[in-house]
Amino acid sequence: MNAMIKKAALAAAIASAPFAASATDLVGGGASLPALAYVGADFTLTSPQARLSTNAGLTAGAGYLESFVGIGSIFDEYELSTGNTASYCQTGSGTGRRVLLGAPGWSASGDCRDYSASPAGFSGLNALPDFAGSDAPLNASDIATFQNGNQATRDNLVQVPALGALIGLPVNVEDNFGNPITNVNLTTEQVCDIFSGDAQVWTDVGVSSSDPITMVVRTDESGTVFATTQYFAANCNVNYGDDFVTSEDFTDSYGPSDYNSSVTASGNGGVVAAVATNSGSIGFANFANVDEAGLAYALIEGHDPATASSVGYATGDLLPDTVLGDVDLSTGLPTTQTLFSIDPALVEGCLAVINPAAQLEGDYPIAAVTNLLTYTDNNVDPAATRDLFKEVISGSSALPVGFARLASGIQTASENIIDNCIN
């Protein structure tokens, strides 16, 4: 069934359904990492790539591109089962949280735009969003931002882990005869050498190409960056004398690295596009985006993200009423902090996080957890938001390669939070 026929059939079904009169259009945005799972691959067919995926008739802004929610995606299944729609803008985790928290100058009604320009919001009709996605969990500073921002009208916060995802290292490198090299297999030390800038040309890391290494530097604050720099901090600092710090900002993680050559890009899709168009380049991005684009990618110590099963976090890895604390400067790794230590009044059992240390323990070494966030009270349609979150966490829709739903115990705990806290 092609997209136009499917959309027409869906519209007819909704028009005759008993819930049509109360159908809700939920507006959200944030992390680009889960986009392929949430909304499908339609946005990859636009040029420049669309950030906004919607079936609700929203627009990314004058002159910018938007796309439909793709058939078979999680949000599409949600629409089919409830009659509600959910729009998603790929702003990056940092901007998504700012909009949800009510940071000064950020609003859900700002233009989502596309990957030709920085987003200003989620393209919503109202200043407050319905939900946000972030691959970096809330931290103590985020709580303060919320208390001084949207808490005035939305009371408190909900955070639940949604999906596990793997992060790949896309490469675009040719041998000295101009033939693509597709069998790059790096050791941990070689990965550290590349991203610290110690390796300047591909032969420095055993790849048969005299091309200079071009680093694709991600510019937006991102949970993908958070998970990847956590891997760097855990593996490169003690073993190889580097000084990586876990951060959502890649340039803050290692300071002014002396790369042979570099280009900048925003979002997972932007990084993949930059690697595809720059010979000799390497970056890091959600593996689903790398796979969707058909790019070559590097294995790490022989581990292949296409076949790994490293997102099976245990129920004990779920930490209730916990946020990220300061980075431990002796290790570069994140710490955690209880909500009680920030403000006992915030402890409602509504905010949970996967222990970030668990992300370092899987088969494939660079893994992330993407989270869903909303408010505890005064949501526009609490039932619609609860249904959306449950569809993401425990729905039956197929996921792109590189994604996995979390363990059943974590799903159950998250659904209990959803039922008890979203009002």
The SS3 of residue 261 is strand
Locate the DSSP E strands across 103-156.
131-134
122 within domain boundaries: yes
Amino acid occupying residue 57: G
- Cα 108 to Cα 36, 91, 102, 119, 320, distances in angstroms: 21, 11, 9, 10, 28
CB 110 within 8 A of CB 119: yes
55 within domain boundaries: yes
Domain membership of residue 132 as a residue range:
3-11+23-163+371-421
- Cα 110 from Cα 113, distance rounded (Å): 9
pLDDT at site 23:
87
- Cα 214 from Cα 262, distance rounded (Å): 5
Q: H or E segment at 420?
A: helix 408-421
- Cα 388 from Cα 39, distance rounded (Å): 12
The total of other beta-carbon atoms located within 10 Å of residue 91's CB is 33
Residue carrying the six token digits 């899987």: 362
327 within domain boundaries: no
Judging by beta carbons within 10 Å of its beta carbon (0-12, 13-18, 19+), is residue 117 exposed, middle or buried? middle
The encoded tokens of residue 95 equal 């901007």
Q: Positive or negative, the Cα torsion across 82, 396, 364, 411? A: positive
417 within domain boundaries: yes
Q: How many helices (H) and strands (E) does the chain have?
A: 14, 18
Total residues belonging to the chain: 423
Biggest CA–CA distance in the chain, Å, is 65
82 within domain boundaries: yes
CATH classification at residue 125: 3.40.190.10
376 within domain boundaries: yes
- Cα 82 from Cα 127, distance rounded (Å): 25
CB 30 within 8 A of CB 133: yes
What pLDDT tens digit does each residue of the chain (423 aa) get?
334 334 444 443 333 334 444 689 999 999 999 999 999 999 999 999 999 999 999 999 999 999 999 999 999 999 999 999 999 999 999 999 999 999 999 999 999 999 999 999 999 999 999 999 999 999 999 999 999 999 999 999 999 999 999 999 999 999 999 999 999 999 999 999 999 999 999 999 999 999 999 999 999 999 999 999 999 999 999 889 999 999 999 999 987 678 999 999 999 999 999 999 999 999 999 999 999 999 999 999 999 999 876 567 899 999 999 999 999 999 999 999 999 999 998 899 999 999 999 989 888 999 999 999 999 999 999 999 999 999 999 998 899 999 999 999 999 999 999 999 999
- In this prediction the pTM is 0.91
- Cα 213 from Cα 202, distance rounded (Å): 6
The encoded tokens of residue 206 equal 């055993």
CB 71 within 8 A of CB 40: yes
Residue carrying the six token digits 């050791």: 187
pLDDT at site 13:
39
Q: What is the full DSSP assignment across 221-232?
A: --HHHHHHHHHH
For 330-361, b/e burial (b = at least 16 CB within 10 A) is eebbbeebebeebeeebebebbbbbbbebbbe
- Cα 361 from Cα 138, distance rounded (Å): 21
Q: Positive or negative, the Cα torsion across 125, 127, 128, 133? A: positive
41 within domain boundaries: yes
Q: Positive or negative, the Cα torsion across 252, 356, 401, 68? A: negative
176 within domain boundaries: no
Number of alpha carbons in the 13 Å side-chain half-sphere of residue 284: 27
- Cα 314 from Cα 316, distance rounded (Å): 5
- Cα 104 from Cα 35, distance rounded (Å): 26
pLDDT at site 256:
66
- Cα 351 from Cα 413, distance rounded (Å): 11
Counted domains in the chain: 1
